[in-house]
Structure 1
Amino acid sequence: MTLPLALLQLVSPALPVGAFSYAEGLEVLVQAGELRDGATLKAWLEAELQFGLLAVEAAALGPMQQAFKTSNMEQLLDLNGWLIAQREAPEIRAQQWQMAGSLLQLLAAMGWPLTEQSQGLKLTGLKLTGLGWTAAWAWAGHCLDLAATDLVEAYLYGWLANQISAAVRLIPLGATEGQCLQLQLVPLISSQANYLISQDPRQMFSSGVGAGLAQLQHGALYSRLFRS
């Protein structure tokens, strides 16, 4: 199977959405001594990939992409609001909106503005405001005509790459070890994508209580490098 080149652009560190400025609670865990090295980081990432809210979001990509294809904006916005509501920390909600806005702005500049007039979307009084990162990613998949499984896989991979990038700057983890860890987790990403593509996100739940608590504590850190 040939990898769609558009996916490389979406997961590129050069994508101007500001992902590099977020750690999503890792900074709290490092300062608390929970994440100390590559082994503890790997265990944390594996748990989030399998049982965290990330998996629920990834499972929602297919239905969101389909909602864009069928112009079912009521379904899209309902699912978007449900996902945003599960983010306890205000910093994470702000991250979702900021990154989504940046991606939508980029896609508009590339020829795919998300507006009722340009796309023929039937909003029926609903507003395309407050879209989160998952919804924006689904819109990118729709615009670039990407297969749902590829989109889910890239979503997980992009999150993993950003987390490892943050960890390299936070704990004694060299760039080489970070890259080795990223490669080790590729099989898990692939298997998760194949599993999540057939799941109903509404029937799933997140076990990422520790991640939520860490994200809530980030704003109270005395010294911090990241925005979440």
Structure 2
Amino acid sequence: MNTQALLSLLHLTSPSLPIGAFAYSQGLESAVEMGWVNSEESLHEWLSPILSHAQANLDIPLLKRLYTAWQADDLAQVQYWQQVLLANRETRELLQEEQKLGLTFYRLLGSLGIGLPVQAREFSYLVLFAKACVHYGIDIHGCCSAWLWAWLENQVAAACKTVPLGQTSAQKVLLAMMPEIEQAIEHGLAVHDENIGMTLPAFAMASAWHETQYSRLFRS
């Protein structure tokens, strides 16, 4: 990866990227409320199956297909895979996060001078993230690494606020899950079309419960 592509990759994963991803916990706040996550170890236990099943079987395979579709300027394929993606966001909270982040990311890309088709205003976050990676010349492995790292860093940051988790413990979780990210990418890039999808009932229930949680820091 050349220096400009690497810098663009770091830019896309920066916590300072003004899209509002920090405002969502994806059900983690409910898991903390119910006592499922209350330590460094339990946080790792919560995040690991989400990475290896949800991200590796849904987000990464779709990221690969969206990346290829953007390379070919095939908007029909982009729209098709977005429909698959949104159908697999199992709760209103997860669906709205995907769509609202997509809208803010769309505005950001436009302000940065990245040419987008008229339909792009309706595209969600993952879809436009693939477009940004193609635009900046980031290869598919870099694209997947950036996506998973941004997700993981955001989840650990949410845990720091809700468990609460100390900074050292947070760094230990990040380091421990780095090899799992590599495994998730290898698995996800090999998933066939008919196997794209996820089933994590506890994750979906925690996200749904978060929508009516009495006291919360993160958006639903």
Task: Mark yes or no: TM-score above 0.5.
Answer: yes
Q: Aligned equivalents of 1:99 and 1:209: distance in 2?
A: 24
- Is 1:6 the counterpart of 2:8? The answer is yes
- Is 1:134 the counterpart of 2:121? The answer is no
Deviation at 1:194, TM superposition (A): 2.4
Q: Give the structure 2 partner of residue 81 of structure 1.
A: 83
- Is 1:211 the counterpart of 2:203? The answer is yes
Q: Aligned equivalents of 2:95 and 2:61: distance in 1?
A: 19
Deviation at 1:190, TM superposition (A): 1.5
Secondary structure of the 1:185 match is helix
Deviation at 1:108, TM superposition (A): 1.3
Counterpart of 1:45, as a letter, is L
Unaligned runs of 5+ in 2: none
- Is 1:179 the counterpart of 2:171? The answer is yes
Counterpart of 2:81, as a letter, is L
Deviations 1:161-213 (A, max 9, x none): 00000001000310121012101111111222123223235423313221111
Q: Relative to structure 2, which stretch is displaced further, 200-209 or 11-20? A: 200-209
Counterpart of 2:107, as a letter, is Q
1:58, 1:134 within 8 Å by CA — same for their partners in 2? no
Give the direction of change, closer, same or farther, for the CA distance of 1:134–1:200 in structure 2 (3 Å limit): farther
Q: Aligned equivalents of 1:115 and 1:186: distance in 2?
A: 35
Unaligned runs of 5+ in 1: 117-126
Correspondence 1:10-21 to 2 at 5 A:
10-21=12-23
Q: Aligned equivalents of 2:24 and 2:9: distance in 1?
A: 21
Give the direction of change, closer, same or farther, for the CA distance of 1:10–1:60 in structure 2 (3 Å limit): same
Q: Give the structure 2 partner of residue 65 of structure 1.
A: 67
2:57, 2:195 within 8 Å by CA — same for their partners in 1? no
1:112, 1:143 within 8 Å by CA — same for their partners in 2? yes
- Is 1:155 the counterpart of 2:152? The answer is no
1:96, 1:133 within 8 Å by CA — same for their partners in 2? yes
1:56, 1:201 within 8 Å by CA — same for their partners in 2? no
Deviations 1:107-128 (A, max 9, x none): 1111113125xxxxxxxxxx44
1:108, 1:114 within 8 Å by CA — same for their partners in 2? yes
Give the direction of change, closer, same or farther, for the CA distance of 1:202–1:14 in structure 2 (3 Å limit): farther
Counterpart of 2:43, as a letter, is L
Q: Aligned equivalents of 1:202 and 1:134: distance in 2?
A: 20
Q: Relative to structure 2, which stretch is displaced further, 33-42 or 84-93? A: 84-93
2:106, 2:120 within 8 Å by CA — same for their partners in 1? no
Q: Give the structure 2 partner of residue 120 of structure 1.
A: none
Give the direction of change, closer, same or farther, for the CA distance of 1:55–1:6 in structure 2 (3 Å limit): farther
* Matched pairs, number: 218
Secondary structure of the 1:52 match is helix
Q: Relative to structure 2, which stretch is displaced further, 105-114 or 48-57? A: 48-57
Give the direction of change, closer, same or farther, for the CA distance of 1:53–1:213 in structure 2 (3 Å limit): farther
Q: Give the structure 1 partner of residue 35 of structure 2.
A: 33
Q: List, as ranges, runs of 4+ consecutive aligned residues in structure 1 with deviation greater than 6 Å.
A: none
Q: Aligned equivalents of 1:176 and 1:207: distance in 2?
A: 32
Q: Give the structure 1 partner of residue 182 of structure 2.
A: 190
Question: What percent identity do the matched residue pairs reach?
Answer: 28
Secondary structure of the 2:10 match is helix
2:13, 2:149 within 8 Å by CA — same for their partners in 1? yes
Counterpart of 1:176, as a letter, is T
Greater helix share, 1 or 2? 2
